[in-house]
């Protein structure tokens, strides 16, 4: 039960987009899309490890790379002691028999031109197991086992409902008696009532056949229902991993907390709860944030040691700073709104933008710094405005990339326990940066 | 008749697909058959197209039994006879000896039609109807075999390019683009010039077994070079379509699933990519048969095919008599039009019935 069946170590899958002939000729640096960016975890024999995360966080790429359907750009996967990425010939064949995948889409995961029987026996045919008659018999048994009837064996996929198709997909995954099944969002496309049936089927089969699951989903309640342990992914990285109940009852990473917080619950007490959603969009994996990848949306962004502002105010200032740095604030329209074509009434501009950008009251010092930055912005000096804010409000989260420590329930957040080298980097960073004087950079 | 033909075609395709994998199901599902049938019952044009092609096919196969004359039989006394219901005049020069003097008389004579040659005769007195019937054989042989070779070649290249992608795709498709850059007729003439006009003579079973009159030509001429050349000129279209299909099928989850089970590339291509790419290829094939028949006629018209019994050849023969004996070129010309229109109508029917939008979406039958 406790031996890892699958060990993933530092798995990376980067896609290089700028790799056309023209780019190669001009020598342009290929741009990496970091779909999976250094992921490590174990799947223990007989358990279900759930992987959750928003769409686009790299869950499915993780599954496909782990199964070697895509070639990884780094890292390794060990299956029962064998290095998966180095297998070839008969050893690779054995791996392909022992590990199977069940896919998400009930429509595209089954070949529309094959009957249910042909679909289920395909792995047997590929590995040349049994005679045609034996395979057919096996398919009939499997159909019954997954809750369909054996006389549906000659039907085509379009004659089945979504839930039935997923059952066929599952029967196909089980046909060759695997030990490990990757379930890539197996119920995401199904109605809620059907989801529960399929989940129960998955659980029953696991108990019956001692299967090990890697269960990928974006629905937290589904993952909670079926998983023994849960890994939370954000932007190609695992930010927290631990036993299911601990993750749900005592989440450590701010992202996990925010994710759990954002789920509406079926409870009358909930009616008036303001669901605190995660702000903003997932950053592009083409250009992930420096340091902690969640910092651009993190409600618990760490303040620099010299600062002691209310967290909400600090967060607003940080977001304002990001907008300035990205050039998202159009100074011209703001001036127009102030109604001063000669751009002389700087005070009015500052007041207007200050009110627009902030809901919170700011402490005096911070109020002064923010206004100084807006004044620079009013003069059209975006760089100076950004520098003013950056000086005082830089967070260690921007500089230090947190790591996932070892242990039963680790998480990758600088607020929590971190490996020694990350702690050391943080101390060094704090020593290198001093508090700036308020107003020091104003003219 | 027409239905039988089509299912034979399908059997042929199935044979190709089954080759490596050995499953049991038809490539074309029962649902597709239903679509074909319902679309056929809805479309008058489709029935019309099938009827035309059925007539041409029947004529081509049984030409020695149906044709009234040996198409190569010359009779100069009976030259330029117009079709039934038409009259034609001819300038005749005769010399007479009157009173010891030779007089040259030019007179206009009326050439009478005869029931023996319902569509008239050409300048050498050969029966136009018989020639047109036998000409159908050349056109259909070149059309079917040429298309078959083009399909095999184009689909192999296209699916390889689409499935593997990357540099393989770049290399194969740039080569295909180069082929596209040549006008097809020019390319065909160049290739024939390079290889000569080889043809294969196959004894006609109808004549050999004495079913048809022994006066009929005893061989079916299979214009080998022309068939290969029209295939080489037209395979690119199949390659492009097959590549596009393979590109989209490649990303389907059932392909990923097959690979995750350990299916080899060959298995995935034969079992999944090819069967799921076939529909538009089939539609394109019908249209290409028509295009190839036209190309063959052009080559024969220009005298490059070496065929002596072909619609295009007959048009070329009749061209110089167009002002006096219009039927020599017009009858085979109408035959080409009928064949091309018929085949295109069938292509439209297949396209409507096998619309990929319906295929694979599940739901509505």
Domains of chain B: 2-81+118-353 (1.10.3720.10), 87-116 (no CATH)
Comparing CA positions, the residue from B262, B41, B292 lying closest to residue B150 is B292
Measure the CA–CA gap between A146 and A136, rounded to whole angstroms. 15
pLDDT at B39: 83
Per-residue pLDDT averaged across A7-34, rounded? 76
Residues in B closer than 8 angstroms to A176, CB to CB, are 261
Per-residue pLDDT averaged across B350-355, rounded? 79
pLDDT band (50, 70, 90) for residue A126: very high
pLDDT at A441: 44
A108, A118, A122: residue with CB nearest B261: A122
Residue A178 lies in a domain: yes
Q: What angle do CA B136, B141, B144 make, to 5 degrees?
A: 115
A201-210, A414-423, B91-100, B279-288 — most confident range:
A201-210
How many percent of chain B have pLDDT more than 70? 88
- CB contact, 8 Å: A138 with chain B? no
Q: Is the pLDDT of residue B357 over 70?
A: no
Residue A266 lies in a domain: no
A224 shares a domain with A81: yes
pLDDT at B358: 41
ipTM of the complex: 0.80
pLDDT at A303: 87
pLDDT in tens, A201-228: 999 999 999 999 999 998 888 999 999 9
A317 shares a domain with A243: no
Please report the residues numbered 14 through 53 in chain B whose beta carbons come closer than 8 angstroms to any beta carbon of chain A. Answer: 21, 23-25, 27, 29-31
Here the tokens at position A177 are 């008696």
Please report the residues numbered 47 through 76 in chain A whose beta carbons come closer than 8 angstroms to any beta carbon of chain B. Answer: 64, 67, 69
A338 shares a domain with A202: no
A318 shares a domain with A242: no
pLDDT in tens, A268-318: 666 666 666 777 777 888 888 888 989 888 888 888 888 888 888 888 888
CB contact under 8 A, B361 and A172: no
A119 shares a domain with A24: yes
Residues in A closer than 8 angstroms to B259, CB to CB, are 69
Q: Is the pLDDT of residue B73 over 70?
A: yes
CB contact under 8 A, A127 and B262: yes
pLDDT at B3: 41
B10 to chain A, minimum CA–CA distance in Å?
14
Residue A141 lies in a domain: yes
Residues in A closer than 8 angstroms to B363, CB to CB, are 158
Residue A262 lies in a domain: no
A107, A123, A125: residue with CB nearest B362: A107
Least confident of A429-433, B14-18, B51-55: B14-18
pLDDT in tens, A368-401: 888 888 888 888 788 888 888 888 888 889 888 8
The total number of structural domains in chain A stands at: 2
Residue A281 lies in a domain: no
A395 shares a domain with A246: no
Per-residue pLDDT averaged across A306-334, rounded? 84
Among residues A222, A250, A278, which one ends one of the domains?
A250
CB contact under 8 A, A101 and B262: no
Residues in A closer than 8 angstroms to B25, CB to CB, are 113-115, 118
How many percent of chain A have pLDDT more than 70? 92
Interface test with A, best of B14, B32, B253, B279 (most A CBs within 10 A): B253
pLDDT at B17: 36
B21, B262, B275: residue with CB nearest A93: B262
Residue A443 lies in a domain: no
Residue A375 lies in a domain: yes
A246 shares a domain with A315: no
Per-residue pLDDT averaged across B196-217, rounded? 82
Among residues A250, A273, A295, which one ends one of the domains?
A250
Q: How far is CA B344 from the centre of its chain?
A: 11
A339 shares a domain with A239: no
Per-residue pLDDT averaged across B43-57, rounded? 92
Domain that holds residue A381: 311-403+415-432
- CB contact, 8 Å: A126 with chain B? yes
Q: Is the pLDDT of residue A142 over 90?
A: yes
Q: What does pLDDT average to over chain B?
A: 82
pLDDT in tens, A231-265: 999 999 999 999 999 999 999 999 999 888 887 76
Per-residue pLDDT averaged across B221-226, rounded? 86
Q: CATH code at A238?
A: 3.40.50.300
pLDDT in tens, A164-196: 999 999 999 999 999 999 999 999 888 888 999
Per-residue pLDDT averaged across B262-267, rounded? 92
Residue of A nearest to B279 (CA): A113
Residue A146 lies in a domain: yes
Q: Is the pLDDT of residue A346 over 90?
A: no
Interface test with B, best of A25, A100, A111 (most B CBs within 10 A): A111
Residue of A nearest to B32 (CA): A113
């Amino acid at each position: 039960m406790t031996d890892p069946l699958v060990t993933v170590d530092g798995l990376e899958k980067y896609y290089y987009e700028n790799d056309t002939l023209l780019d190669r000729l001009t020598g342009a640096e290929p741009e990496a899309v970091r779909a999976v960016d250094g992921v490590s975890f174990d799947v223990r024999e007989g358990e279900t490890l759930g992987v959750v995360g928003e769409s686009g966080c790299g869950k499915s790429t993780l599954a496909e790379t782990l199964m070697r359907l895509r070639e990884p750009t780094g890292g390794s996967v060990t299956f029962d002691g064998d290095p998966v990425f180095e297998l070839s010939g008969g050893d690779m064949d054995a791996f392909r028999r022992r590990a199977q995948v069940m896919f998400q889409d009930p429509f595209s995961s089954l070949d529309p031109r094959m009957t249910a029987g042909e679909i289920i026996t395909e792995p047997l045919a590929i590995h040349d197991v049994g005679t045609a008659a034996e395979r057919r018999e096996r398919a009939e048994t499997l159909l019954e086992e997954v809750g369909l009837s054996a006389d549906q064996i000659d039907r085509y996929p379009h004659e089945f409902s979504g839930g039935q198709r997923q059952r066929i997909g599952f029967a196909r995954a089980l046909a060759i008696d695997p030990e490990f099944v990757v379930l890539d969002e197996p119920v995401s496309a199904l109605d809620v009532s059907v989801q529960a049936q399929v989940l129960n089927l998955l659980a029953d089969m696991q108990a019956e056949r001692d299967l090990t699951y890697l269960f990928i989903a974006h629905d937290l309640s589904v993952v909670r229902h079926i998983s023994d342990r849960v890994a939370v992914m954000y932007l190609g990285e695992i930010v927290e991993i631990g036993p299911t109940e601990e993750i749900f009852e005592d989440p450590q990473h701010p992202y996990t907390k925010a994710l759990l917080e954002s789920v509406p619950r079926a409870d009358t007490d909930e009616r008036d709860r303001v669901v605190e959603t995660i702000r903003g969009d997932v950053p592009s994996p083409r250009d992930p944030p420096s340091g902690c990848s969640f910092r651009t949306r993190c409600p618990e962004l760490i303040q620099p040691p010299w600062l002691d502002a209310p967290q909400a105010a600090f967060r607003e200032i940080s977001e304002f700073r990001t907008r300035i740095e990205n050039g998202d604030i159009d100074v011209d329209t703001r001036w127009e709104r102030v109604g001063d074509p000669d751009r002389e009434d700087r005070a009015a501009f500052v007041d207007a933008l200050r009110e627009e950008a902030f809901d919170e009251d700011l402490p005096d010092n911070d109020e002064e710094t923010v206004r100084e930055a807006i004044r620079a912005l009013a003069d059209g000096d975006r760089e100076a405005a950004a520098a003013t804010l950056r000086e005082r409000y830089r967070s260690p989260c921007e500089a230090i990339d947190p790591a996932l420590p070892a242990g039963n329930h680790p998480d990758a957040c600088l607020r929590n326990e971190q490996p020694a080298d990350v702690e050391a980097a943080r101390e060094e960073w704090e020593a290198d940066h001093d508090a700036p004087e308020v107003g020091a950079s104003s003219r | 008749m027409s239905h039988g033909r089509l299912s034979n075609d399908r059997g042929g395709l199935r044979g190709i697909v089954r080759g490596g994998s050995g499953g049991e199901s038809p490539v074309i599902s029962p649902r597709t058959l239903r679509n074909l049938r319902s679309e056929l019952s809805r479309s008058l044009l489709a029935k019309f197209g099938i009827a035309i092609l059925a007539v041409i096919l029947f004529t081509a196969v049984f030409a020695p039994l149906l044709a009234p004359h040996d198409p190569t039989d010359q009779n100069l006394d009976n030259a330029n006879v117009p079709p039934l219901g038409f009259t034609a005049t001819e300038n005749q020069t005769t010399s007479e000896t009157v009173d010891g003097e030779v007089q040259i008389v030019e007179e206009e004579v009326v050439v009478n039609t005869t029931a023996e040659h319902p569509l008239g005769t050409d300048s050498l007195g050969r029966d136009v109807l018989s020639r047109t019937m036998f000409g159908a054989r050349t056109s259909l042989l070149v059309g079917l075999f040429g298309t078959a070779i083009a399909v095999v070649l184009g689909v192999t290249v296209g699916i390889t390019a689409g499935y593997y992608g990357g540099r393989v795709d770049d290399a194969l498709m740039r080569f295909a683009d180069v082929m596209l850059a040549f006008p097809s007729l020019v390319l065909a003439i160049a290739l024939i010039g390079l290889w000569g006009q080889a043809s294969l003579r196959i004894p006609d079973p109808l004549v050999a077994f004495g079913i048809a009159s022994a006066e009929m030509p005893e061989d079916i001429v299979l214009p080998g070079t022309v068939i290969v050349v029209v295939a080489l000129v037209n395979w690119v279209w199949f390659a492009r379509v097959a590549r596009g299909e393979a590109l989209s099928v490649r990303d389907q989850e059932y392909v990923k699933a097959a690979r995750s089970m350990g299916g080899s590339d060959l298995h995935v291509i034969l079992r999944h990519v090819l069967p799921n790419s076939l529909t538009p290829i089939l539609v394109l094939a019908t249209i290409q048969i028509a295009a190839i028949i036209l190309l063959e006629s052009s080559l024969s018209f220009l005298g490059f095919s070496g065929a002596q019994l072909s619609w295009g050849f007959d048009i070329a023969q009749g061209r110089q008599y167009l002002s006096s004996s219009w039927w020599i070129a017009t009858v085979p010309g109408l035959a080409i039009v009928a064949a091309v229109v018929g085949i295109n109508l069938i292509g439209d029917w297949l396209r409507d019935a096998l619309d990929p939008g319906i295929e694979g979406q599940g739901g509505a039958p």
